[in-house]
Amino acid sequence: TNNLALSMTIRPALFISAVMLASATACTSTSDDDAGGSGAGGGKADDPNGSELRFLDQGWSDEDRAWMYRTSEGSRIVPTQWLAALRDQRGTRFTSTLSQYGFIPDPASDPSGLGLPVGFATDGGWTGVTCTACHSSQLKVGSVAVRIDGGTMQADFGRFQLGLLREMKATFDDPRRFGDFAREVLGDNLEEFAEDELSADVRVWLEEMEFRLSFANGAPVPGPGRVDGVGQATNETLCI
């Protein structure tokens, strides 16, 4: 459990690199061409919601975009196996609700197979966010969705964190839900005391997350598109 607590911190060097990268990404200039122009990075694709998806010409290739979306920068929010197994009281997977917090669906670019939105990355058994979770926008114009890499996010990051905490705590407090959760996380490794060890790890995660959020979200809660990338990340780092 000590290793679990330590893994939840953001390593300072990676944090500083992430902030610098975020600033550089946000300052990327857009082309005067229409969305989906012929330059590098412009083009069309299918949006998960059925719309035609176009990308502004930001000078990125598809490979550049996928790398930015999915390469970990050191963020450790929740163990990936836990995130994959977490469900609400109706049995709906938490991962399928992330667009409700304003994150941009993009399952095709997610190598984890979980269908995570833009800016969610998995690394070393953990899932966290990259700069692009907060520096990507998508606008709907008629039947066309326009992706703006480097734009201002529309997601409510604080509400997402609180929602994740709420569902994990509700699962932890309900023996039936936690039993289902443990069976999915542990699979064939459901040996004697394994569920007790998982329960102890979840308890540590809940305590750490509640403590971090008591500093990070503050008052008033930021709301959609208003996450303080420096203040929140710094607070989360220094409060550990």
How much is the mean pLDDT over the chain?
78
Helix (H/G/I), strand (E/B), else coil: 233: helix
pLDDT tens per residue, range 106-146: 998 999 999 999 999 999 999 999 889 988 999 998 999 99
Q: Given a cut of 80, is residue 14 above it in pLDDT?
A: no
pLDDT at 88 over 70: yes
Could you tell me which residue, 26 or 123, shows the higher pLDDT?
123
Residue 147 has pLDDT above 80, yes or no: yes
Q: Which of 61, 56, 226 is nearest to 134 (CA)?
A: 226
- The token pair at 180 is 């289902």
pLDDT tens digit sequence for 59-80:
889 999 999 999 998 888 999 9
- Rounded to whole angstroms, the Cα distance separating 182 from 49 reads 32
Question: What band does 231 get if pLDDT is binned at 50, 70 and 90?
Answer: low
Task: Name which residue leads in pLDDT, 31 or 218.
Answer: 218
**pTM of the predicted model, to two decimals?**
0.77
Distance, CA of 35 to CA of 48 (rounded, Å): 18
More confident residue, 177 or 230: 177
Q: Indicate the residue type of 139.
A: L
| Stated length of the chain | 240
What pLDDT sits at residue 67? 93
pLDDT tens-digit readout, 199-220: 999 999 999 999 888 776 666 6
Query: CA of 216: how far to CAs of 123, 156, 210, 221, 227, in Å?
Result: 23, 13, 10, 9, 10
> Which one is predicted more confidently, 224 or 13?
224
Residue 71 DSSP SS3: coil
pLDDT of residue 107: 92
Task: Identify the CA nearest to 102 among candidates 214, 223, 218.
Answer: 223
Q: What is the mean pLDDT of residues 77-104?
A: 95
pLDDT grade for 154, boundaries at 50, 70 and 90 = confident
**Least confident segment among 1-10, 14-23, 126-135, 151-160:** 14-23
